Amino acid sequence: MVISIDKVQEGMVLAQDVLLPSGMILINCNRMLDTHLIDMIRRRGIMEIHVIEPEDEPRQAEPPKQEDPPANTPQSDASAVAAAAVPSPEEKPKPTLPRVIIVLSPDRLSAELRIESAGGKDELLAFDDVMTEFEMKGVVYGIDENKVASCVDRWNRTRKPVRDIVAQGTPIQRGKEGDVAVVVKHLSDAVHCGAVRGVTHFWETGAIGSLIERINPGTVIAERQSGLPPMSGKTVTGEVLPCEDLEKCPVRLDEKTVRLSHDGKQMTAAISGVCFFTDNLLGVVPLDFSGSAEIVLAPNRLAAVVVVHPAGPGGALPTKKDIEVLLAKNGISFGLQEAAARTLYDCLSRGECPAGPVTIASGIPAQNGENGRVEYLFDTETSLKPKTNPDGSVDFKSLGIIHSVVKGQELARLVPPTKGKPGKDVTGKELPSRDGVPAIMPAGINTKIPEDRPGVLIAETDGYVKIKGNVIEIQEGYVIGGDVGYETGNINYAKSVQVKGDIKGGFIVECGGDLEVGGTIEDCHVIVGGNVLCKHGYLGTGKGIIEAKGDVNIGFMKNQTIKSRHNVSIAKEALNVTIFAKNAIAVHGNPLSVAGGHLMARDSITVHTAGNASQIKTTLEVGADFTLIEEMQKTEKQILEITENRQKIIDTIKKFDHLITIKRKLPPKEEFLYTKLKNTFLRYDQQLHELENRKKMITAKMQETEQAFIRIEHGAMPGTVFKIGDRYFLVREEVIGPKNVRLIRGEIRIL
User: CATH number of the domain that 31 lies in?
Assistant: 3.90.105.10
Cα separations (Å) of 243 from 178, 226, 240? 18, 19, 10
The C-alpha atoms of residue 696 and residue 312 are separated, in whole angstroms, by: 76
Same domain, yes or no: 719 and 647:
no
Sorting pLDDT into bands at 50, 70 and 90, what band is 48? confident
The C-alpha atoms of residue 72 and residue 113 are separated, in whole angstroms, by: 52
Q: If we measure between CA atoms, which residue out of 109, 113, 105, 110 comes closest to residue 129?
A: 113
Give the pLDDT score at 355: 83
C-beta separation of 127 from 152 below 8 A = yes
C-beta separation of 225 from 181 below 8 A = yes
- Is 721 within a domain? yes
Same domain, yes or no: 124 and 27:
no
The C-alpha atoms of residue 393 and residue 556 are separated, in whole angstroms, by: 12
Give the pLDDT score at 40: 76
The C-alpha atoms of residue 411 and residue 400 are separated, in whole angstroms, by: 17
Give the pLDDT score at 42: 76
Same domain, yes or no: 685 and 721:
no
Whether pLDDT at 91 is above 60: no
**Across the strands, what pairs with 337?**
none
Q: Please give the sequence-ordered ranges of beta strands (E in DSSP) within 320-409, or none if there are none.
A: 358-362, 373-376, 387-388, 394-395, 404-405
- Is 273 within a domain? yes
SS3 168: strand
Q: Which domain holds residue 141?
A: 99-168
Domain boundary, last residue among 473, 507, 529: 473
Both ends of the chain: CA-CA distance in Å?
Answer: 113
Same domain, yes or no: 372 and 438:
yes
Same domain, yes or no: 479 and 547:
yes
Average pLDDT, rounded, for the chain: 85
Q: How many domains does the chain have?
A: 7
Domain boundary, last residue among 151, 168, 185: 168
Same domain, yes or no: 498 and 635:
no
Same domain, yes or no: 333 and 400:
no
C-beta separation of 606 from 589 below 8 A = no
- Helix 35-43 to helix 127-137 angle, to the nearest 10 degrees? 90
- Is 91 within a domain? no
Give the pLDDT score at 387: 61
SS3 251: coil
Give the pLDDT score at 684: 86
The C-alpha atoms of residue 723 and residue 702 are separated, in whole angstroms, by: 13
C-beta separation of 412 from 456 below 8 A = yes
- Helix 145-158 to helix 127-137 angle, to the nearest 10 degrees? 120
- Is 62 within a domain? no
Same domain, yes or no: 324 and 417:
no
Same domain, yes or no: 488 and 548:
yes
Instruction: Return the amino acid letter for 674.
Output: Y
- Is 616 within a domain? yes
The DSSP symbol for 524 reads -
- Is 59 within a domain? no
Q: How many CA atoms lie within 13 A of 683 on its CB side?
A: 8
SS3 195: helix
**369 phi and psi, to 5 degrees?**
-70, 150
Same domain, yes or no: 586 and 725:
yes
Give the pLDDT score at 527: 95
Whether pLDDT at 504 is above 90: yes
Sorting pLDDT into bands at 50, 70 and 90, what band is 209? confident
The reply to whether the predicted model has a pTM over 0.85 is no
Same domain, yes or no: 479 and 467:
no
- Is 80 within a domain? no
- Is 83 within a domain? no
The C-alpha atoms of residue 343 and residue 327 are separated, in whole angstroms, by: 16
Alpha helices (H) along 435-582:
none
Give the pLDDT score at 90: 47
Q: If we measure between CA atoms, which residue out of 447, 741, 465 comes closest to residue 610?
A: 741
Domain boundary, last residue among 143, 168, 193: 168
Same domain, yes or no: 316 and 400:
no
Which tens digits make up the pLDDT trace of 428-438?
A: 899 999 999 99
